[in-house]
Amino acid sequence: MIAGEGTAAVRTARRVRFDDARIEMSHGAGGKASRRLVEGLIAPAFANPILAALSDAATFSLGDRRVATTADGYVVRPLRFPGGSIGELAVNGTLNDLAVSGARPRALMATFVLEAGLAADMLRAEVAAMAGAAERACVAIVGGDTKVVEHGFCDGMYVTTFGLGEVEGDTTLDPRSVRPGDRVLLSGPIGDHGITILLARGELEIESSLRSDTRPVWPFVEALLRACGDGVRWMRDPTRGGVATALNELVRENELAVVLDEASIPLRSQVRGACELLGLDPLHIANEGQFLALLAPERADAALALVRSMPGGEEAALIGEVRDEPARTVLCVTPYGGTRTIDMLVGDPLPRIC
Amino acid sequence: MIAGEGTAAVRTARRVRFDDARIEMSHGAGGKASRRLVEGLIAPAFANPILAALSDAATFSLGDRRVATTADGYVVRPLRFPGGSIGELAVNGTLNDLAVSGARPRALMATFVLEAGLAADMLRAEVAAMAGAAERACVAIVGGDTKVVEHGFCDGMYVTTFGLGEVEGDTTLDPRSVRPGDRVLLSGPIGDHGITILLARGELEIESSLRSDTRPVWPFVEALLRACGDGVRWMRDPTRGGVATALNELVRENELAVVLDEASIPLRSQVRGACELLGLDPLHIANEGQFLALLAPERADAALALVRSMPGGEEAALIGEVRDEPARTVLCVTPYGGTRTIDMLVGDPLPRIC
């Protein structure tokens, strides 16, 4: 056994029962059903002091270093979409899980499940996309594995990536370090990835210039940690389940409240329009290149200025703050002065977006 | 970038072209076609000094430690079979890739792709199997990820596991350290896993008590490394592609020859019978709980006695030796005194055995 940090996952896992008879799409959507599956079925079986099933990465000591490890499976459909593809997503997504744990990436591994009949050029393109994304992040893909299944299974390819990173200095990003008065920084417009995937499937007849936001967030994280130190309390990349789910997970851990100012949340008109058409809340839509940072109040303005000064960070905003009640709740103040409760994602309105 | 060891994979990768238009089952079988795919398409794109696509694990330095990482996807069909299941296989297989790299396991991660409609009890059983296998190996499963795909894809579940280990002391297990005269130790009977899977599918109407050999090999590896030090030159667990493919990979790296004594190779009559019926060579059949160790000649008898003294090692044997020619060749001397060349696995006679 290795010296562990963070027992929150195990503590939480004891509370939940999973009584469903069958696996459904919603169990993979990243929202409430996913959490029930993980907390009620998987985490109790694997329970150990460093289990990080409910965190983006597991961190532990190895010799004189603190390392973070993370693993993610990718089953996005279609394989290629405006702004990215499964390979780029698989590299950036895993790098981002390390990044929001305060870890500089050191090595990646990748496994492929390929469908018999897949065009070799399709695989070649995804391997190239992965290599490019890894190179841009200055990290090596050091190994992996390839399996092939019969035609008709796995629609093209599934990719799983594993990342190993080194936690910078004495960084700790713990939900329990968040305090009332802390501010919520969001790095840019939400929902671009999820809505891009939806439109790429042709399920809505909308012409759009929207592109996935897939990108590595480490450059922002590194700059924030250097400038603000432990003024950065906690970070998360709001992927499946969106900003709403990420913040609900936070308040479940620390028993606090987050109050968002809806008018301040960056959102493109195309995403707003598609969400209105479909009855979706943009706060539930997946992002693949944004991050949330919970900041000590005295550091918030400087942090915002810093992120905005970096390429791709121009639309960052402070979108809310932490309060001590109502505990375990995320609220949103609308532009008309009303207040609504923001729950975790329920069901799976946009299956297989990553 | 991290300080790397082993550039063999990159060096080899430059030799091969992959011109196939489509992915076929044989590209996942672990034999010649798999190697062409990895060497000709994947490795060149990811090329870097520590790429270990052709090794069982990547090893590199991290602070004051040497670590090994490995990743494997599992798509075995059926999910449960005599002697094991996909979950147990996924844990033992990844632990064994670390073990034959001389690495004590420190952490595992697991990702699942689940099919909508899968019985929750099936998942529960596999999660329990994984937890049990990890606990027996004294290693924690520290995190993972779960995705769900529509009914009809991924026939039940695919599991990917990642392992992180610490290389013991100053162990180096390099194919290029093997010398003419070195002996080949095999830990036990071959082919049990592959033939068990075949029979479990009901493709042959044979009643059999055969069971998969899935198990962790680290206890043997640890004992051998302690007793024989650098008298252990190289190790490999002969999974997909079997003993024949593992030894062919060795002689490709070190430009030597291996000569096997067929009569000395442990083999159960049931495996022999099934192979005769199907026209398969047991040397090509997958194992999930055996290992090959290349040993300095003066250490070989003591190593054999040690492995045989351990539970589950009783049937270990010295099955051949290394010669300096014919280079890049594996030969087998038959009980009748003839000699045949043993090639890598070609095609995919037993698809999806792991």
B196 contacts: CB under 8 Å, gap ≥ 6: B81, B82, B83, B208, B210, B211, B212
> Are residues A185 and A274 located together in one domain of the fold?
yes
Q: Which of A134, A169, A204 is the last residue of a domain?
A: A169
Name residues 165-224 of chain A within 8 A of B (Cβ). Answer: 166
Residue B53 has pLDDT above 80, yes or no: no
- Over 50: is that where the pLDDT of B7 sits? no
The whole-angstrom distance between B94's CA and the closest CA on chain A is 11
State whether B204 and B106 are in the same domain.
no
Last residue of a domain, one of B169, B188, B217: B169
Q: Is B149 helix (H, G, I), strand (E, B) or coil?
A: strand
Render pLDDT for A233-246 as a digit per residue (tens, 0 to 9): 999 999 999 999 99
pLDDT at A168: 83
Q: Is residue B150 classed exposed, middle or buried when 0-12, 13-18 and 19+ CB atoms within 10 A define those classes? A: middle
Say whether pLDDT at B54 is over 60: no
Q: Does any CB of chain B come closer than 8 Å to the CB of residue A18?
A: yes
B246 and B151 share one domain: no
- Per the structure, the count of domains in chain A is 3
How far apart, in whole angstroms, are the C-alpha atoms of residue A29 and residue A20?
A: 16
Q: Are residues B314 and B234 in the same domain?
A: yes
CATH number at residue A261: 3.90.650.10
Q: Is the pLDDT of residue B308 over 50?
A: yes
Q: What percent of chain B has pLDDT over 70?
A: 94
A347 within domain boundaries: no
d(CA B31, CA A18): 41
A58/B62 Cβ within 8 A: no
pLDDT at B13: 41
Confidence of residue B6 (pLDDT cuts 50, 70, 90): very low
Closest to B62 (Cβ–Cβ): which among A106, A130, A160? Answer: A106
What is the pLDDT, as a whole number, of residue A7?
34
Q: Please give the Cα distance from B16 to B325 (Å, whole number).
A: 23
- Is pLDDT larger for residue B13 or for residue A262? A262
**In this structure, what DSSP letter does residue B145 have?**
E
Domain limits for position A309: 175-341
Residue A317 within any structural domain of the chain: yes
Strand partners, B339: B333
The amino acid that residue A289 corresponds to is G
What pLDDT is stored for residue A178 in this prediction?
Answer: 97
Assess whether A89 and A238 both reside in one domain: no
Same domain as A86, residue A69: yes
Instruction: Output the pLDDT for position B263.
Output: 97
Tens digits of per-residue pLDDT, B64-98? 899 999 999 999 999 999 999 999 999 999 999 99
- Which of A54, A73, A94 is the endpoint of a domain? A54
Touching check for A253 and chain B: CB below 8 Å? no
Least confident of B214-218, B235-239, B325-329, B345-349: B345-349
ipTM of predicted assembly, 2 dp: 0.92
Q: Which of A58, A138, A152 sits opposite B143 (nearest CB)?
A: A58
Which of B213, B341, B235, B246 lies closest to B31, judged by CA?
Answer: B246
Residue B125 belongs to some domain of the structure: yes
Confidence of residue B206 (pLDDT cuts 50, 70, 90): confident
Domain presence at residue B353: no
Residue B10 binned pLDDT confidence (cut-offs 50, 70, 90): very low
Chain A contact for B18 (CB, 8 A cutoff):
yes
Q: Is the model's pTM score more than 0.90?
A: yes
Alpha-helical (H) ranges within chain A are: 8-13, 32-37, 43-46, 86-99, 120-136, 192-200, 218-228, 242-254, 269-278, 297-308
Shortest alpha-carbon distance between residue A194 and chain B (Å): 16
Q: Cβ-count burial of A218 within 10 angstroms (0-12 exposed, 13-18 middle, 19+ buried)?
A: buried
pLDDT reported for residue B329? 98
Residue B248 — left, alpha, or beta (φ > 0 → left; ψ -120 to 50 → alpha)? alpha
Q: Do A147 and B352 touch (CB under 8 A)?
A: yes
Do B181 and B330 lie in one domain? The reply is yes
A196 and A324 share one domain: yes
Q: What share of chain B is helix, strand, coil (3-state, %, to 5)?
A: 35, 25, 40
pLDDT in tens for each of the 354 residues of chain A? 333 333 333 344 447 889 999 999 999 988 899 989 988 999 888 887 666 545 678 988 888 899 999 999 999 999 999 999 999 999 999 999 999 999 999 999 999 999 999 999 999 999 999 999 999 999 999 999 999 999 998 889 999 999 999 998 888 899 999 999 999 999 999 999 999 999 999 877 777 899 999 999 999 999 999 999 999 999 999 999 999 999 999 999 999 999 999 999 999 999 999 999 999 999 999 999 999 999 999 999 999 999 999 999 999 999 999 999 999 999 999 999 999 999 999 888 888 999
In this prediction, residue B11 has a pLDDT band, given cuts at 50, 70 and 90, of: very low
What is the reported pLDDT for A268?
97
What CATH number is given to the structural domain containing B90?
3.30.1330.10
Q: pLDDT at residue B264 above 60?
A: yes
Q: What is the pLDDT of residue B47?
A: 80
A332/A195 same-domain check: yes
Do B186 and B330 lie in one domain? The reply is yes
Q: Is residue A348 part of a domain?
A: no
Write out pLDDT tens, residues B126-146: 999 999 999 999 999 999 999
- The average pLDDT across B333-347 equals 93
Contacts with A349 (C-beta within 8 Å, 6 or more apart), sequence order: A29, A278, A280, A284
Residue B49 is predicted with a pLDDT of: 67
Interface test with B, best of A10, A27, A35, A46 (most B CBs within 10 A): A46
Q: Residue A323: inside a domain, yes or no?
A: yes
Same domain, A161 and A197: no
A197 and A297 belong to one structural domain: yes
In a domain, A154, yes or no: yes
A91 within some domain = yes
3-state secondary structure of B117: coil
